[in-house]
Structure 1
Amino acid sequence: MKTSQTISKSFFGFLVASFLIWVLITFSKEYKTVINYEVNFINIPQKNILLETTPQKIACYVTGSGFRLFWSQLFDQKINLDVSKFDQQSPSKTYILPKNQLSNIQQQILSGVEIKTILKDTLYVKMGFLQSKKVPLKPNLNISYQVGYNILGDLKITPDSIVISGDESQLKSIQFLELENLKLTNVKANFSNNVAILKPSKSKNIKLTTSNAVISAKVDKFTEGSLQVPFKITNVPSDIKITTLSETVLVTFVVALSQFSRVTDASFIIECDYEMSTKNELGYLIPKIVLKPDFVDNIKIIPTKIDFLIQK
C-alpha cells in the first residue's frame, strides 16, 4: 500500500514538473498579438472641456515573450495622450494620428513589449468651450417629526448655490441642481446632514465647485397658546360711534416652547375694517391680523365675526 502511494505521489510530482517546464519553454518564446490599450487624455486646455465620457482604446500590434505579453495585458496602465499636442479639425473637434505618437506610447507600456504598428489611423476627441454659471441647490426632503415637535425657523442649505462649469450648450438647460434624498423619521432634535449634489443625467461631465452640501435645521417642541387681544375698528366716519359687546378677541396660536414667553397680547395687532363691512352689506365686523410675530404659526381668531351697534 505504501509503495503504491509513493508511486502515485512521484507520478504527480513528475506531471507538475513537466507542466512547469512546458510553461517556461512556451512563455519564453516570442509571440505576436494585438493588445487594446485604454486612452487617457491629459493637459486639456483651461478654456475647453472634454465632452466624451466613453473611454477610447487604441489597438496595437505588438511582439514580445509570452510572459511579457501576458503581464502587459493584465497590468499595463492606460496610455496618456496630450490633448495640447492634438491637431484641430474644427473649433469643437480635435484629432490625433497615433502613429505619429509611437515613441511616446512605446515608453508607457511594459518593457520588453515592442509596438510594431498601431492599427487605428485616427483618434477623435470632441471638445467643448468651458463656461460657468451659478445655480441654486434644491433639496429633496422626506422628514417626519415626533408628535409635538417641528422645525424652528427655516431649513438651511450650505451652500445654497454653487458654480458649475461645462460646455455652454449643456449649461443653458440647467436652472438648478437637486440634492440626494434626505429621509429622517421621528425627528425631535436639531439635525445637520451631509448630502450629495446630483448631476443632471444628460450632463454627467459638468464640473462642480463642490460635490456635497449640508442640510440643517433647528427643531423644537411646540405648544399651543391663547391670549385675549384688544382689537381696533378702522375707517369709521366721524359722525358714527361703534359699540361692540367685547373689546377683545381670543387669539390662539402655536409656538416653539423656547419662544413661548416672548408672546404677549402686544405681539398682535387686530383690526376690523368698518368700511369693508358696509361696502359688502355685512351686519358684523371681521377681525383680521395686521401684525404678528414671525415665529408664531397656526393663528386663529375667536370669534371670526363681531356684532356691533351704531350710535349716531
Structure 2
Amino acid sequence: MKKKYKILIFGISLGFAVLIWLYINLNLNFTVTMSLPLNIKLGEKQALSGEMPSKIGVTFKGKGWDLLGLWMSKNLSYNLDLTNIKRDIKLNSLQLINERVNIPGNVTVVNTDPDTIMISFDNLNEKYVKVKNNLDVRLKEGYEIIGSPKITPDSIKITGASSVISQINSVPTESIVISNVNSQFKKEVSLIDVTNGKIKIIPPVVKIEYEIELFAEKEYDDIEIKVFNIPQDKEVILIPPRAKILVRSGVEKIAKFDLSNLKAGIDYTVIENDTTGYVIPDIEIPENFKMIKVEPEKFQYIIKKKLN
C-alpha cells in the first residue's frame, strides 16, 4: 500500500509540475509559421489567369496560449476578396492582413510568404468538359463491375479565363477508396478545382453509379468467323473456320447472353495486306461483357479465285 501511495503522490506531483511548466511557458512570447490555404473570392464577371499560390505562409507572434488556439483553429485561411479589383495588380500579402486572416487581437503577423501576389485578369469564357472518375472501388472476391460506371452528368460546365479553360479537358472527382463492395451503389462526389479558384465548376457535385454482380464465365464453341467485303471473283477459306470464346460478366447477364449480339469477322483488306500468313479477327460483344479468351488467337487463310 505504501508503494502504491508513493507512486500516486509522485504522479500527482509530476502532473502538477508539468501544468506549472506549461502555464509559465505558454505565457511567454513565441513566433510560429503556418501555411494557410488561399481562398479567392471573384465577382460573377471576373476571371483569373496566370499562376496563383495555393497557400500563403504566415508567421505569427504572440503568447503561447494564443498561438496554441490559433494552431488548433480548423478553418484558418487566407481570404482574398477580388470583387472590387478591376485591373491587373500586384498585391502586398502583408497589407490588410487582419481583414484577410481571422487573427486574435493579441496576435501579430510578422511576415508573409510570398510577400506579393500577382493578380491577372482575362476574358471570361465557358465550355463543357468530361468528368474524370477518381473513385477506387475495391470489390469482394468473386464480384465484377459490369460495364462502365454511369456518371450523371458526365459533362459539366466550367467558366473562367479563356487562357485557363483552354488548357482543361476534364475535371476530376475527389479521390475516394470504397472497399469490400458486393452490390450496386450510387455515390455523390465533389469535383476538384485543380486551378486553385481560377474556374467555376457547374455543378460542383456529380452522381456515380456502379453496377456490380457476382461474376460468371461461359465458354461458347462453334463461333463462325466471317470475312467481309470479299471481291466477287475471290473466295476466302479460314483455317479453322470457327472459334471458341470465353466470356465474363455478371451471373444474370451471362444467363441472358444472346449469341446473335456477338459479331466476329475479318475485313478482306486485312487479309489482302497481310504479310505473315495469319490474321486476327475482330470480335465485338455487348458493352457489359468481357472477352477473356479466343481460341485460336490467329487464323490462317487461303484465297482462291472463283471458277466461272
Q: TM-score, normalised by structure 1?
A: 0.50
Which residue in 1 is equivalent to 2:169? Answer: 175
Task: Tell me the amino acid that sits aligned with residue 142 of structure 2.
Answer: G
Q: Counterparts of 1:156 and 1:227 in 2: how far apart (Å)? A: 29
Which residue in 2 is equivalent to 1:222? Answer: 215
**How far apart are residue 226 of structure 1 and its match?**
1.2
Q: Counterparts of 2:234 and 2:88 in 1: how far apart (Å)? A: 81
Q: Does 1:184 align with 2:178?
A: yes
Task: Indicate the larger mover: 210-219 or 247-256.
Answer: 247-256
* Structure 1 unaligned blocks of 5 or more: 1-40, 56-80, 96-124
Q: Counterparts of 1:164 and 1:309 in 2: how far apart (Å)? A: 56
Contact 2:135–2:176 (Cα < 8 Å) also in 1: yes
Q: Counterparts of 1:169 and 1:278 in 2: how far apart (Å)? A: 46
Task: Tell me the amino acid that sits aligned with residue 300 of structure 1.
Answer: K
CA-to-aligned-CA distance 1:80-102 (integer Å, 9 cap, x gap): x9977x8x7xx44599xxxxxxx
Task: Tell me the amino acid that sits aligned with residue 295 of structure 1.
Answer: N
Which residue in 2 is equivalent to 1:256? Answer: 250
Q: 1:194 to 1:277 in 2, by over 3 A?
A: same
In terms of fraction of residues, the more helix-rich structure is 1
CA-to-aligned-CA distance 1:8-57 (integer Å, 9 cap, x gap): xxxxxxxxxxxxxxxxxxxxxxxxxxxxxxxxx99x864336899999xx
Q: Does 1:48 align with 2:46?
A: yes
How many aligned residue pairs are there?
Answer: 210
SS of residue matched to 1:227: strand
Q: Counterparts of 1:239 and 1:158 in 2: how far apart (Å)? A: 50
Alignment map for 1:133-212 (pairs within 5 Å): 133-134=126-127, 135-200=129-194, 202-212=195-205
Task: Tell me the amino acid that sits aligned with residue 47 of structure 1.
Answer: K
Task: Tell me the amino acid that sits aligned with residue 45 of structure 2.
Answer: K
Which residue in 2 is equivalent to 1:213? Answer: 206
Q: Counterparts of 2:119 and 2:182 in 1: how far apart (Å)? A: 52
Quick check: which has more Rg, 1 or 2? 1
Contact 1:46–1:130 (Cα < 8 Å) also in 2: no
* Structure 2 unaligned blocks of 5 or more: 1-39, 57-80, 92-117
**How far apart are residue 273 of structure 1 and its match?**
7.8
Contact 2:281–2:298 (Cα < 8 Å) also in 1: no
SS of residue matched to 1:154: coil
SS of residue matched to 1:164: strand
Contact 2:220–2:244 (Cα < 8 Å) also in 1: yes
Q: Counterparts of 2:197 and 2:134 in 1: how far apart (Å)? A: 19
Task: Tell me the amino acid that sits aligned with residue 145 of structure 1.
Answer: L
**How far apart are residue 145 of structure 1 and its match?**
1.4
Which residue in 2 is equivalent to 1:60? Answer: none
Which residue in 1 is equivalent to 2:224? Answer: 231
Q: 1:286 to 1:299 in 2, by over 3 A?
A: farther
Which residue in 2 is equivalent to 1:59? Answer: none
Contact 1:49–1:129 (Cα < 8 Å) also in 2: yes
Q: Does 1:276 align with 2:271?
A: yes
Contact 2:136–2:178 (Cα < 8 Å) also in 1: yes
Contact 1:92–1:129 (Cα < 8 Å) also in 2: no
Contact 1:277–1:286 (Cα < 8 Å) also in 2: no
Contact 1:157–1:215 (Cα < 8 Å) also in 2: yes
Task: Indicate the larger mover: 267-276 or 165-174.
Answer: 267-276
Which residue in 2 is equivalent to 1:78? Answer: none
**How far apart are residue 138 of structure 1 and its match?**
1.7
**How far apart are residue 259 of structure 1 and its match?**
1.2
Q: Counterparts of 1:207 and 1:248 in 2: how far apart (Å)? A: 55
CA-to-aligned-CA distance 1:207-263 (integer Å, 9 cap, x gap): 33333222221111210101222425645997979697x764322211221112332
**How far apart are residue 292 of structure 1 and its match?**
3.0
Q: Counterparts of 1:278 and 1:208 in 2: how far apart (Å)? A: 49
Identity %: 20
SS of residue matched to 1:174: coil
In terms of fraction of residues, the more strand-rich structure is 1
